[in-house]
Structures are given as C-alpha cells and as structure tokens.
Amino acid sequence: MSDAIAFDDIDAINGHASEEYGDWGTEIEVTQEMINDFAELTGDRQWIHIDVERCIKESPFGGPIAHGYLTMSLMPMLISVPVKLGGIKNAVNFGCGGARFLSPVPAGSTIHARSRLIGAEAHRAGTLLSFESATHVKGNEKPSLVYTSQILYQG
C-alpha cells in the first residue's frame, strides 16, 4: 500500500486526526425487503418498520423506516477508515464509543457515510484507532446515524 502509515506509528496516525469528515463512501439503497429481512432476523417487527399501509396512514414519518440497528449494521459497507495503514495482518472490531440515531432512514432511500479520525493509541495487542462516522440519507444535511468505532489493528 503506497503512502500508507505503519499501523504502529501512533504519532503519524494521530497527525491525521481531524474535526473534518472525509469524502463520501459507498452508497446503499435501503429497501423495504432489507427492512423486512432485518425484522425477521432480529424479531423487531414493530409496525413503523414493516407495515407499509399503516405507516402511510399513521406514521409521523409518512412511510416505513429502517431500524436504527439495521443502519448501524451496514457500516462496514458504508465507511472506510480515514487513514491508510500498512503492515496490518488483522483488524478487529474492538467496540463502539457511542451511537446516536438522529433522523429516520425511510424505506427506499439511499444512504452514504463519511468518517474522520479521532485518534490512535498503543494497545497491548496492537494499535487502537477511534473514528467517527456520519451516515446520511443522500441529500439530507442532518445525519441519520453518528457512530464512533474502535478498531484494533495488529501486525
């Protein structure tokens, strides 16, 4: 990987920490079928997600919306780590520094995300990176999900 920073060069990685988000990543359409499948998988069959006709009549959102955790589960497809690292043999999802569901994701909408590096720290098993990602319905200024990820990189 050219111009990559060694995964264990904490100072160089932290030099890329920023308050600014990077570029938009991959776009994904959140279909009603995905929402229904997620409802079946998780047992969360609340009507605001799966009852299209009732949602059109009664929901404050005007139609069905995706589960917040469905949106969160799409993060691996939506985001990229905001710094290129080299020498990595393994990357492990280490945890979540927090998640906020700020606006709905209507069925049929397209979402995308962008990220920013918060920082890196040495860990006994490698290097722990924290970064924040904001997932938006395409065209909406307000994010649907703001999520802080922690990934442990090992060489």
- pLDDT tens for 31-79 read 999 999 999 999 999 999 999 999 999 999 999 999 999 999 999 999 8
* pLDDT at site 82: 85
Residue-level pLDDT at 80:
81
pLDDT at 81: 81
Q: Which residue type, as a one-letter code, is found at position 85?
A: L
Q: What is the pLDDT of residues 47-58, one digit of tens each?
A: 999 999 999 999
DSSP 3-state percent helix, strand, coil across the chain (nearest 5): 25, 35, 40
Q: Examine the pLDDT at 2 and tell me if it is beyond 80.
A: no
Residue 46: phi and psi, rounded to 5, are -60, 140
| pTM reported for the whole predicted model | 0.91
Task: Name the burial class of residue 17, with classes exposed (0-12), middle (13-18) and buried (19+) by CB atoms within 10 angstroms of its CB.
Answer: middle
Looking at residue 1, its pLDDT comes to 43
Measured in Å, how far apart are the chain's first and last C-alpha atoms?
14
What mean pLDDT comes out for the span 82-97? 93
Q: Within 13 Å, how many C-alpha atoms sit on residue 62's CB side? A: 5
Does the CA dihedral 144-32-72-56 come out positive or negative? Answer: positive
CA angle 45, 27, 92 (to 5 degrees): 75
- The stretch 131-140 carries a mean pLDDT of 97
pLDDT band for position 102 (cuts 50, 70, 90): very high
> What is the C-alpha to C-alpha distance for residues 146 and 72, in angstroms, rounded to an integer?
9
Per residue in 113-130, pLDDT (tens digit) is: 999 999 999 999 999 999
Helix (H) or strand (E) holding 16: none
Name the average pLDDT for the chain: 95
**Domains delineated in the chain:** 5-29+76-154 (3.10.129.10)
Q: How many residues does the chain have?
A: 155
Q: What are phi and psi of 9, to 5 degrees?
A: -90, 80
